[in-house]
Structure 1
């Protein structure tokens, strides 16, 4: 059940929702080959912020996905520019031309695109894994930060810091709004992020397993079946590191001294073909808390409901 404006918690009327133009401060993570129109439009339609990825490097396909979003939803959506994987220097200009109003930048310096995007009137958030990176992004003029703990899936700092430590640290040192990422899957974890200073959350692994996610059912089921201990952190001798599901392929790469991106494998055979050993299946530790494949609208609606229940319960405890 999708939340309606009348049922939204008061905490959702904040800088993040106003800047992004959404009702619900939940952002879908920009996962390569996954964060495309099928998933992102469902997130936007549910009142949150759908994001189109660029980390796949397939910019022609990504550009088509951005155009398709306009046919699938009239709600706001954003685009991520993953700088380490975008080879087209005109990507910022393309995003601006498409009328996109919200951009997240990641996997590179916040100074590369921030000024160009902001001069065109866009809202820019940069993804950061450390306090130092957060301060650099603020100095570069970003509108906000996505603070990503090391328990999250995908590209990580080689020296990961948990969300419980990193989020309040960054929030205590910056004045821009913060979206929390890493370990967020429901209303309770969203409420915890707000308690630590966030004004929004980003969901990755939870959205990979959603009914509208384009990945093969084998991957969704692997997330559902996973324990909280069933991820590994790869590539810690290089950057970025990678958090992924524990499979035969990833277990063999745990102690690799070389850059494991050379062994990433055939992504499409994994993502769309369901061969769990064909490539590295990126996933966060929160897979251990996901027990079913559910529609995006239900995930977001239940998150909003539970968030409100948790906040009300804590307020009640405090008044006794």
Structure 2
């Protein structure tokens, strides 16, 4: 497959502008190395807060791949004041920051020579990140899985709006699952895509098969947007008995609903916590290796772009 050359692939040193989302406990060496080895960019998470385990995962990454990879700093979940030194000491060159003020870590990270992208759910957040000096943005639509801005905006609206106001490279997140969605994101102004739910269901994903099966069996209507009115973050999750109850009667402590997360993620108890997932669960019907996912995305992307050119230009 022909590599793509644009600002993001050159910044990251990758063949394909496909980034794996930094899902807590999931985005570790087993999955991230498979994505990097396939020509995309694997990301190691810190949102679990288990920095000693994360350090071990980064060491493992270097055993499993010689390709570039990155680390995410999820500011709402990482309280360690030494997180910048931690990331720098690992020799990582690319960082995404999220769930917090971009001014907090951008300066020190860039001073250490790292490339920094900040995750934004609004135009105001994007402009603030630009002022902070980020190298690029991850623009995240409300259709994506995980923790979200309670005032959610679909990527189809958010991405071209932010592109019209900024010049930095943009990664599109939310609804990205195939070459067709990647082509649409590029048409709207992105230069890369980030995939979360598609990678949760990848063969190398460490989550229990029950979760993968739940994604495969999900309809496009089988996610819920929870906790829109707080307290705590809003989030998008798979429809289960637990989340349907939370949709009707919101929890007073949404993070408390995540206490059994390891029993869900790795034990397969889908009611033990909240199974975070994007709406694209309704488009995923098989478990595939990360390389096959990326190869198929790129093949379809090129086909769509060529067909559009032949049909309309």
Query: What TM-score range do you get, normalising by the shorter chain?
Result: over 0.9
Tell me which residue corresponds to 2:177. 185
Q: 1:245 maps to which residue?
A: 238
Structure 1 counterpart of 2:218, from 226, 235, 255: 226
Q: Tell me the distance in 1 between the aligned counterparts of 2:15 and 2:164.
A: 26
Provide, for residues 40-61 of structure 1, a one-character-per-residue CA deviation record: whole Å limited to 9, x for no partner: 0000000110000011111111
Aligned to 2:37: 45
Residue 91 of structure 1 deviates from its aligned partner by 1.2
Match in the other structure for 1:216: 208
Q: How does 1:95-244 map to 2 (within 5 A)?
A: 95-238=87-230, 239-244=232-237
Give the conservation status (yes or no) of the 8 Å contact 1:77–1:102.
Answer: yes
- Structure 2 Cα separation of the partners of residues 109 and 167 of structure 1: 20
How is 1:33-112 mapped onto 2 (pairs within 5 angstroms)?
33-112=25-104
Equivalent of residue 265 in structure 2, options 271, 277, 302: 271
Equivalent-residue separation in structure 2 for 1:142 and 1:16 (angstroms): 13
> Which stretch shifts more, 83-92 or 306-315?
83-92
Name the CA distance, whole Å, in 1 between partners of 2:311 and 2:253: 50
- Two-structure CA RMSD over aligned residues (Å): 0.9
* TM-score, normalised relative to structure 2: 0.98
Which residue does the alignment assign to 2:303?
309
Q: Which of structure 1's runs of 4+ aligned residues deviate more than 3 A? A: none
Partner of residue 288 from structure 1, selected from 270, 282, 287? 282
| Cα distance between partner residues in 2 of 1:283 and 1:74 | 30
Q: By how many angstroms is 1:270 displaced?
A: 0.5
Q: Does 1:258 align with 2:243?
A: no
Partner Cα separation in structure 2 for residue 257 and residue 264 of structure 1: 11
Tell me, which stretches of 5 or more residues in structure 2 are unaligned? none
Q: Distance in 2 between matches of 1:19 and 1:292?
A: 32
1:142-182 per-position Cα deviation (integer Å, ceiling 9, x unaligned): 00000000000001110100000000000110011000000
SS at match of 2:282: helix
Tell me by how many angstroms 1:192 deviates. Answer: 0.2
Structure 1 counterpart of 2:293 = 299
1:223-254 CA-to-partner distances (Å, cap 9, x unmatched) read 00000000001111124211000001111111
Provide the secondary structure at the position in 2 that maps to 1:301: helix
CA distance, structure 2, for counterparts of residue 264 and residue 207 of structure 1: 21
CA distance in 2: counterparts of 1:266 and 1:67, whole angstroms: 27
In the aligned structure 2, how far is the partner of 1:249 from the partner of 1:87?
Answer: 29
